[in-house]
Chain A
Amino acid sequence: ETGVTQTPRHLVMGMTNKKSLKCEQHLGHNAMYWYKQSAKKPLELMFVYNFKEQTENNSVPSRFSPECPNSSHLFLHLHTLQPEDSALYLCASSQDPLAGTDGSYEQYFGPGTRLTVT
């Protein structure tokens, strides 16, 4: 148990559906992240939020829409996805993504949501 929870753990959706992934962290961290993990590929950073403000968007298609209402909760809204979007979506949190050489910035990951787009 890392202190980061994700729901649902598994999701199957059609290309015309709309669904949302939820992440919650209980670690008192300031920053939250969405990653996409596909087979045989490195972890791909999608979005970074620091104190509820989006600080990084890694050229993610608009069919993925993040929402961060507070520092403890992060959502990923999905609509009109493609089969190639099937992957494990991981949420992570850390204390301070703006820290340079000092500060605590270890990331803690949730268990992920396994998404299948049919």
Chain B
Amino acid sequence: GENVEQHPSTLSVQEGDSAVIKCTYSDSASNYFPWYKQELGKGPQLIIDIRSNVGEKKDQRIAVTLNKTAKHFSLHITETQPEDSAVYFCAARGKGAGGSYIPTFGRGTSLIVHP
């Protein structure tokens, strides 16, 4: 099955700095790579995603890049703000044993933005 590795587990930055979180995946058939943000007491919320036929996608201060050959993808947050502090999860969506396309998640990165 799919295996997703995510680094770092904790990331501490100053407000205004950039933050980068990296993930690798193992199944070359995976075709969709979402990123989720989870705040305390809430479920994960999708913040950006990228499909396997695209190399880069940007949405305001957030961008995601995908290198299919190397099987890695990254989340970039620029001009970080204290409200960006949360746990971020990457995922790779591949085919489960039952035929459904399901995501496999990384372990998460706790991002702390200091004012």
> Contact residues of A with B, CB < 8 Å?
2, 4, 31, 33, 40-43, 45, 48, 50, 54-57, 90, 92, 97-101, 105-112
Q: How far is the CA of A108 from the CA of B42 in the complex (A)?
A: 12
B-side interface residues, number (CB < 8 Å) = 30
**B101 pairs with A56, CB closer than 8 A:** no
Say which one of B62-70, B73-81, B102-110 lies at the interface with A: B102-110
Contact of B96 among A42, A43, A56, A109 (CB under 8 A): A56
Given the contacts A101-B31, A101-B53, A106-B34, A45 and B102 also touching, CB distance less than 8 Å: yes
Given the known inter-chain contacts A55-B98, A97-B101, please indicate yes or no for A106 contacting B49, CB distance below 8 A: yes
The smallest beta-carbon distance between B55 and chain A, in angstroms, is 15
Question: Is the C-beta of B19 less than 8 angstroms from some C-beta in chain A?
Answer: no
CB nearest to B42 among chain A residues: A111
A selection of 5 A-B contacts at a CB cut-off of 8 Å is: A41-B107, A42-B4, A42-B107, A57-B98, A90-B43
The reply to whether A98 and B99 form a contact with Cβ atoms under 8 Å apart is yes
CA distance A2 to B45 in the complex (A): 8
Tell me whether B46 and A108 are in contact (CB under 8 A).
Answer: yes
